[in-house]
Structure 1
Amino acid sequence: DALELRTIELFKEIGWDKTANCYHEWQDDKSSLGRSSRKELVLVPQLRKALTRLNPDLSTATIDLAVEELTRSRSTLSLENANREIYRLLKDGVKVTFQDANDEEAIETVKVIDWNNPSNNDFFLASQFWITGEMYLKRTDLLGFINGLPLVFIELKRHHRRLKAAYDDNLRDYKQTIPQLFWYNAFIILSNGSKSRIGSLTSSWEHFSDWKKINSEGEEGIISLETIIRGTCDKKLLLDIIENFTFFYTTKGELIKIVGKNHQFLGVNNAINAVKQIQHNQGKLGVFWHTQGSGKSYSMVFFAQKIHRKLQGNWTFLIITDRDDLDKQIYQNFAYADAVTEPEKNVRANSAEHLKQLLKEDHRYVFTIIQKFRVEKGQTYPQLSDRDDIIVVVDEAHRSQYDTFALNMRNALPNAAFIGFTGTPLMAGEERTREVFGDYVSIYNFRQSVEDKATVPLYYENRIPELQLTNDDLNENVRDIIENAMLDEDQESLLERQCSREYNLIVRDDRLDKIAADIVTHFLARGFQGKAMVISIDRFTAVKMYDKVQHYWQQYLNELKTQLAQANVSEFELKQLQKKIQYVEETDMAVIISSSQNEVEDFQNKGLDITHHRYRLANESPGLDEKFKDTNNPLRIVFVCAMWITGFDAPSCSTVYLDKPMKNHTLMQTIARANRVFKEKVNGLIVDYIGVFRNLQDALAIYGSASGGGVEEGDTPVNPKTVLVEELREAITEAKDFCKQK
């Protein structure tokens, strides 16, 4: 009760118009709020009053039709579809068809919320609000109404209760028993006073997040109910979140509602402010560094959508990546979020000439890879548009490939503004990037991301150190060539020629055999049994590793079956053995590599067969990417060398087996494949066979002071596994002490 009363006081402090305890709302079967029954969620008198105020030129009959549309039952729809349908009405108004004075059909749009003037809306907080479902009568803790519509749901627990109980017990129950409450919901806050989290109606528990900062990224972040209420329910901030930081997207037939997280809300609004000052900053909108896995691609959607909606002008966004698979993925993100409505062939450049054509036309969005800004040697790229309302959004703007084409982009679009989105910080020697984009516009670093549980922490372990090459063997040339050959796997021959000694040490058969055997043992002995990626130096080695792991996998399976045949064990142990055999038998593996000309012959020359793998990549349905992302699909290990190591999200992937020399951004992006939040996964693990992390601090020094902020002492994206082991020891000691006290 004390927590509820304090929360109500908070809403009064932030200027909500009215609060009321509705426990005794019903007297003699009559509601003091004007509801006709407890099943009715919308406060119709307040809604009608607000619509009349917001639409002074519309007739009473038109307002009545809008009220009818907003309050009609949506019980035939899924919860998510009902919510999306109502969200569109809130955001864009209710289209009403009626007969006008001349008895002709007319259409009017009825505004439901005044997004630009918060004080022009009615904000009401109800506590102890009774709702009847089909079979059950429920009472909610706090409901926030805007213009009579229940948009904010707050569930409170006693301070000594685990916060997850609010999700497991209350929220899940309400969704089942009083689903009509969530038709209207904008977001959900769960709190026990000391801990508070926010999420959408489709968020699983692990995707409910903290909201630590209210006004700026520079604030000291505080986890408290007061911070989350002031940061999300202040009238102006609340309308901004609902209007501009919410979208729906469909994946695998499931409708997901995304509500921006605290770092996205603050970071994107920083970027919007840079656009508002476009004359002052001369189109250098800045570098938006948010750690890999913390939702950077969603931030891009929020950024573009808010500009289209809130800033005057005929804005075009040119969104640039440097790999074809990333280009397709980023287009799909925008399309799934309903931001892009044009067909893919109309907005995704399929050639350098097609790109030129698209930039001369008028599109809200254009997608391309940067290599399409190419010209013949000695030629200058032509000017395509002198518009000053084009915003060039470059993903991973600091990669080495970027410099080559930056000038061509400038020549093509001399008056465009530029913003760089990146998952890794700028490093020493990247002054050129800053010349084009300006300084950081938003920073959300490795440490913040882990602390906020936006990503899970990463740990590494060096396994089989005798197989790792010393620094003398593995010179900088190898890493440089690999770093620069990321886009073109045909350059592998260059690697073999220029670094033949080092290359041959890495791909030696006996070395790969030991690693393959170790991968099998390690993979099957892990605690959290997530999916895994094996990363090899090139395509040939990826296929070779697949063959070798398959060999040792079968050997392991045969050993298990022998144990089962000879089993003189308890029934429990027998079941465990059978369960393990089933897991090993059903586990699928695949090679993911891009194709090249004459590859069948090239692989055959090395004693390898690519045809089976190519067939699977080309024909399997659902695709291998979908299978790997699907937690329940038995495709559990993939063998890669360049594809999927940047910009590919499979949240259940928890282990990366690294046997490829790497450095800089490519290394950081690769290890981030294991940092996605997923159910009971508590960390990602990088198993280092090549010795990349032997000199971790050297690898990270490039991100030091040269980056102009963002990377601080001790702020590393990955820590040695010994740190995790130490945490385990401490937890065991605490548990023992607790037991002794009892």
Structure 2
Amino acid sequence: MQGFRFNEKYLSQIPALQQLINLGFEYLPLGKALVARQGKTGNVLLEDVLREQLREINRIHHKGRDYLFSEENIQSAVQKLKNVKYDGLLKTNEAVHELLTLGTALEQTVEGDTRSFNLRYVDWDDWRNNRYHVAAEFSVERTRSTETARPDIVLFVNGIPFAVIECKSPKVEVEQAISQSIRNQRDEYIPKLFIYTQIVLGVNKNAARYATVGTPAKFWSLWKERQDKEAAMAQSIHRTLPDKTKDALFSGEFATARRFFDTLEAEGEREITEQDRAIYSLCRPERLLALVYKFTVFDAGIKKIARYQQYFAIQRILTHVKQRDTAGHRRGGIVWHTQGSGKSLTMVMLARALAQEPDINNPRIVLVTDRKDLDKQLKETFAACDMVPQRARTGRDLLELVSEKRAGLVTTLVHKFDKALNVKKYRDESPDIFMLIDESHRTQFGNFAARMRQMFPNACYLGFTGTPLMKKEKNNFAKFGGLIDKYAIDQAVADGAIVPLLYEGRHVEMEQNEKAIDLWFSRHTQGLTDAQRADLKKKYARAEMLNKTDQVIYMRAFDISEHFRANWQGTGYKAQLVAPSKAAALKYHHYLEELGFVSSEVVISGPDSREGYDDVDDEPTDEIVRFWQKMMKRYGSEEEYNKQIINRFKYGDTPEVLIVVDKLLTGFGAPRNTVLYLTRILREHTLLQAIARVNRIYENED
């Protein structure tokens, strides 16, 4: 027995199987599992179980009576799931996920009335109505091959593979389990199993990571439990299995291990391991179904499953909003999750959870931001996750959407409430309106927020922010509803959700050509009085004004070029340069292009009516107007100009450096964006949000 102590079967796989059996999964020995698969290793569904469960959990409700689906329809549902057309792993998995969560419509004649009725593959309302199985060493035939691959553990819900677990010895890093799982998902291995799989785990005794199908290794996550009780967790590993179950488990390859585990059981209770915690938290039937049904999204074709902070934040919010004050208002509050930790997806999952909550009747959800780019980004995030909101483009548009109840999900800018009320005095007193407010440290207070509350006095206000709160704001938030959930930057770094930020102060050596500066100053101040000259000289002595001079910009551009070449060029990572003005941004771009080593592009807003014309303190800005006209001629519109350059920055080889002034400092997510060159002073929230542009994790396959 001593020789088995660091074997993955003895220290990971069999303990996991014992725990899963105690959590309600019926163990299927190899032979029995193969029979349920029609004797074919190329078939991953337990068809007999699936067929039986489809009969069990489905009824046709018609004119006050219940009817069974016909056997023909049951078989049709099995074949529909079994014969899903393969269109790449993620696309096919998305089609399967939709089928599993929504069910399928089947035509049947009941009492002479022929119509379509919905058949479910899983009872999502009551997890106890489903059947759960677990199989070990589950051999699956590889694509276009007679060879097989054998995942360590597969979990089934109603005969459908929902979870795959790879186990390793404590001597082997859990990253190897992750690598093996990712390999098995590839087209040349066993994607036929993973088109059905909803959650994947890599475990050893001391560590565990989880993800969903198609997730790169860097994004496999830790789960830190906030609700489970130790006693319930301990029961799942210490409860003695019935002899009949032991006979089934310790057969075949595991037969020689029975004596070892009987001895271990006789020695008394063992310590709870990290593997035990992860399996209990993620794989017990009730939690497994919740994660798949409510906390999984497809974001622009990429499948994502909630991280633990997103899951528990939403659970807390749902509990919170069901409570009411003496006036009958639902409790609101703030969710403070640090930037880069998935705040927008948390809002998507919350909106869906509110819509599905049985205790809330016909909720209407309004997503509020204070910037056009954030409004657009939030709408696109929801749309990418198959939740298409109506975007209120004007105050009148907002008024029509909410007053006529034309949309259950609306996005808008905070100032549109003021414009809407100027059109018509409208008041909706429903308590089932939920205001989800992004970057709430900026939008919760002031005149616009007051107008929002005037329109929806009884709504539930839920604020989201990722920026550390100033003392005054904390006091305001306490009045607003208090803090519902917090996920701080140190937690996110420790969890690997974001990367730590490293600061490097760079001093650019420059020689001042005093004679040239004096001559320049003399020429540009002709006609001014001595007092005006003195005042102007003081302004140019300040750092903000000095930053705009050509000499400084050229030397800094040279330093940035050299720094990027030496540290980041060729790695796949990119940089953002924050300039003090539009004119300076164009000069940085000009000098970087002139140096010729690092590619760059500029993203700025269009020139306002005064630029280039009448401000004596500013440099001439004819260049801005010319640049803008050139961009509009090339791209056709500001939206297309922004879109094409941003897409090239995110997904192409060039530009390597994106130069901005105020745009893209908040709400801009580009994981390749790793370096931020600051050439202007930023303070408080603007600084904190700007530096968070470079804290995202990027999966660089090279």
Bucket of the pairwise TM-score, normalised by the shorter protein: 0.7 to 0.9
User: Could you tell me whether the CA contact under 8 Å between 2:131 and 2:158 is conserved in 1?
Assistant: yes
Q: Structure 1 regions of 5+ residues with no counterpart? A: 468-495, 555-583, 683-742
Higher Rg of the two aligned structures: 2
Alignment match of 2:646 (pick from 620, 625, 633): 625
Are 1:240 and 2:290 matched, yes or no?
yes
Q: Structure 2 regions of 5+ residues with no counterpart? A: 1-8, 60-66, 231-271, 511-535
In the alignment, what sits opposite 1:679?
A: 699
Alignment match of 2:320 (pick from 268, 274, 284): 274
Alignment match of 1:33 (pick from 32, 36, 41): 36
In the alignment, what sits opposite 2:345?
A: 298
Alignment match of 1:84 (pick from 79, 94, 114): 94
Are 1:18 and 2:68 matched, yes or no?
no
Aligned pair count reads 601
- CA change 1:167–1:539 in 2 (3 A) is same
In the alignment, what sits opposite 2:244?
A: none
Alignment match of 1:337 (pick from 382, 385, 389): 385
Cα distance in 2, alignment partners of residues 202 and 436 from structure 1: 43
What is the deviation of 1:677? 0.3
Are 1:371 and 2:379 matched, yes or no?
no
In the alignment, what sits opposite 1:733?
A: none
Could you list the per-position Cα deviations for residues 694-717 of structure 1 after superposition, in whole angstroms to 9, with x for gaps in the alignment? xxxxxxxxxxxxxxxxxxxxxxxx
In the alignment, what sits opposite 1:651?
A: 671
Cα distance in 2, alignment partners of residues 20 and 84 from structure 1: 28
User: Could you tell me whether the CA contact under 8 Å between 1:382 and 1:411 is conserved in 2?
Assistant: no
Could you list the per-position Cα deviations for residues 34-81 of structure 1 after superposition, in whole angstroms to 9, with x for gaps in the alignment? 634222111122112222221243234255245434443234422222
Are 1:429 and 2:472 matched, yes or no?
yes
Cα distance in 2, alignment partners of residues 296 and 217 from structure 1: 27
User: Could you tell me whether the CA contact under 8 Å between 1:352 and 1:372 is conserved in 2?
Assistant: yes
132-141 or 390-399, which deviates more: 132-141
Cα distance in 2, alignment partners of residues 217 and 124 from structure 1: 24
What is the deviation of 1:155? 1.2
User: Could you tell me whether the CA contact under 8 Å between 1:194 and 1:223 is conserved in 2?
Assistant: yes
Cα distance in 1, alignment partners of residues 538 and 401 from structure 2: 41
User: Which amino acid in the other structure matches residue 331 of structure 1?
Assistant: K
- CA change 1:615–1:169 in 2 (3 A) is farther
Cα distance in 2, alignment partners of residues 25 and 376 from structure 1: 65
In the alignment, what sits opposite 2:355?
A: 308
What is the deviation of 1:339? 1.1
Are 1:147 and 2:158 matched, yes or no?
yes
Helix, strand or coil at the partner of 1:430 = helix
Cα distance in 1, alignment partners of residues 653 and 572 from structure 2: 13
Cα distance in 1, alignment partners of residues 397 and 603 from structure 2: 29
In the alignment, what sits opposite 1:160?
A: 171
Cα distance in 2, alignment partners of residues 548 and 223 from structure 1: 58
Are 1:263 and 2:309 matched, yes or no?
yes
> Identical aligned pairs, as a percentage?
26
In the alignment, what sits opposite 1:225?
A: 275
Helix, strand or coil at the partner of 2:362 = coil
CA RMSD of aligned residues (A): 3.0
- CA change 1:435–1:373 in 2 (3 A) is farther
Helix, strand or coil at the partner of 1:37 = coil
In the alignment, what sits opposite 2:655?
A: 635
What is the deviation of 1:616? 5.2
105-114 or 1-10, which deviates more: 105-114
- Once superposed, which parts of structure 1, at least 4 consecutive aligned residues long, lie more than 6 Å away? 496-500
- CA change 1:678–1:358 in 2 (3 A) is same
Cα distance in 2, alignment partners of residues 164 and 447 from structure 1: 23
Alignment match of 2:224 (pick from 206, 209, 212): 212
User: Could you tell me whether the CA contact under 8 Å between 1:63 and 1:110 is conserved in 2?
Assistant: no
Cα distance in 2, alignment partners of residues 292 and 621 from structure 1: 23
User: Which amino acid in the other structure matches residue 511 of structure 1?
Assistant: V
Alignment of 1:408-447 (within 5 A): 408-431=451-474, 433-434=476-477, 437-447=480-490
User: Which amino acid in the other structure matches residue 626 of structure 1?
Assistant: N
User: Which amino acid in the other structure matches residue 446 of structure 1?
Assistant: I
Alignment match of 1:132 (pick from 141, 153, 164): 141
User: Which amino acid in the other structure matches residue 591 of structure 1?
Assistant: V
Helix, strand or coil at the partner of 2:345 = helix
Cα distance in 2, alignment partners of residues 306 and 421 from structure 1: 16
Could you list the per-position Cα deviations for residues 351-388 of structure 1 after superposition, in whole angstroms to 9, with x for gaps in the alignment? 222222222121111111112223599x8983332222
Helix, strand or coil at the partner of 1:95 = strand
Cα distance in 2, alignment partners of residues 418 and 273 from structure 1: 14
In the alignment, what sits opposite 1:517?
A: 558
Helix, strand or coil at the partner of 2:186 = helix
Could you list the per-position Cα deviations for residues 144-198 of structure 1 after superposition, in whole angstroms to 9, with x for gaps in the alignment? 0011111011112233223333333453234332221012111111123322211
In the alignment, what sits opposite 1:361?
A: 404
In the alignment, what sits opposite 1:327?
A: 375
Are 1:42 and 2:45 matched, yes or no?
yes
In the alignment, what sits opposite 2:258?
A: none
What is the deviation of 1:530? 1.4
In the alignment, what sits opposite 1:116?
A: 125
User: Could you tell me whether the CA contact under 8 Å between 2:149 and 2:184 is conserved in 1?
Assistant: no
User: Could you tell me whether the CA contact under 8 Å between 1:397 and 1:420 is conserved in 2?
Assistant: yes
Alignment match of 2:627 (pick from 585, 610, 618): 610
Cα distance in 2, alignment partners of residues 460 and 206 from structure 1: 23
Cα distance in 2, alignment partners of residues 421 and 450 from structure 1: 20
User: Could you tell me whether the CA contact under 8 Å between 1:322 and 1:370 is conserved in 2?
Assistant: yes
Cα distance in 2, alignment partners of residues 105 and 150 from structure 1: 33
User: Which amino acid in the other structure matches residue 242 of structure 1?
Assistant: V
What is the deviation of 1:105? 3.7
Cα distance in 2, alignment partners of residues 614 and 622 from structure 1: 13
Cα distance in 2, alignment partners of residues 376 and 421 from structure 1: 24
Helix, strand or coil at the partner of 1:10 = helix
Give the alignment's TM-score, normalised by structure 2. 0.80
Cα distance in 2, alignment partners of residues 450 and 339 from structure 1: 30
Cα distance in 2, alignment partners of residues 217 and 391 from structure 1: 32
What is the deviation of 1:436? 6.1
293-302 or 347-356, which deviates more: 347-356
In the alignment, what sits opposite 2:204?
A: 192
User: Which amino acid in the other structure matches residue 647 of structure 2?
Assistant: E
User: Could you tell me whether the CA contact under 8 Å between 1:533 and 1:638 is conserved in 2?
Assistant: yes
In the alignment, what sits opposite 1:699?
A: none
Helix, strand or coil at the partner of 1:237 = helix
Cα distance in 2, alignment partners of residues 110 and 349 from structure 1: 36
Alignment of 1:657-676 (within 5 A): 657-676=677-696
User: Could you tell me whether the CA contact under 8 Å between 2:329 and 2:431 is conserved in 1?
Assistant: no
What is the deviation of 1:313? 1.0
User: Could you tell me whether the CA contact under 8 Å between 1:535 and 1:660 is conserved in 2?
Assistant: yes
- CA change 1:384–1:111 in 2 (3 A) is same
Cα distance in 1, alignment partners of residues 32 and 423 from structure 2: 74
Cα distance in 2, alignment partners of residues 393 and 170 from structure 1: 37
User: Could you tell me whether the CA contact under 8 Å between 1:65 and 1:96 is conserved in 2?
Assistant: no
User: Could you tell me whether the CA contact under 8 Å between 1:214 and 1:230 is conserved in 2?
Assistant: no
In the alignment, what sits opposite 2:500?
A: 457
Cα distance in 2, alignment partners of residues 161 and 635 from structure 1: 41
Cα distance in 1, alignment partners of residues 634 and 345 from structure 2: 30
User: Could you tell me whether the CA contact under 8 Å between 2:202 and 2:208 is conserved in 1?
Assistant: yes
Alignment match of 1:181 (pick from 193, 206, 211): 193
Cα distance in 2, alignment partners of residues 621 and 426 from structure 1: 31
User: Could you tell me whether the CA contact under 8 Å between 2:100 and 2:121 is conserved in 1?
Assistant: yes
- CA change 1:400–1:199 in 2 (3 A) is closer
Cα distance in 2, alignment partners of residues 187 and 500 from structure 1: 60
Cα distance in 1, alignment partners of residues 669 and 69 from structure 2: 51
User: Could you tell me whether the CA contact under 8 Å between 1:74 and 1:82 is conserved in 2?
Assistant: yes
Helix, strand or coil at the partner of 2:36 = coil
Cα distance in 2, alignment partners of residues 538 and 294 from structure 1: 30
- CA change 1:110–1:380 in 2 (3 A) is closer
Cα distance in 1, alignment partners of residues 556 and 299 from structure 2: 40
Could you list the per-position Cα deviations for residues 474-504 of structure 1 after superposition, in whole angstroms to 9, with x for gaps in the alignment? xxxxxxxxxxxxxxxxxxxxxx999776332
User: Could you tell me whether the CA contact under 8 Å between 1:51 and 1:63 is conserved in 2?
Assistant: no
321-330 or 400-409, which deviates more: 400-409
Could you list the per-position Cα deviations for residues 497-536 of structure 1 after superposition, in whole angstroms to 9, with x for gaps in the alignment? 9977633233233222221111111111115551111101
In the alignment, what sits opposite 1:712?
A: none
User: Which amino acid in the other structure matches residue 149 of structure 1?
Assistant: I
- CA change 1:668–1:232 in 2 (3 A) is same
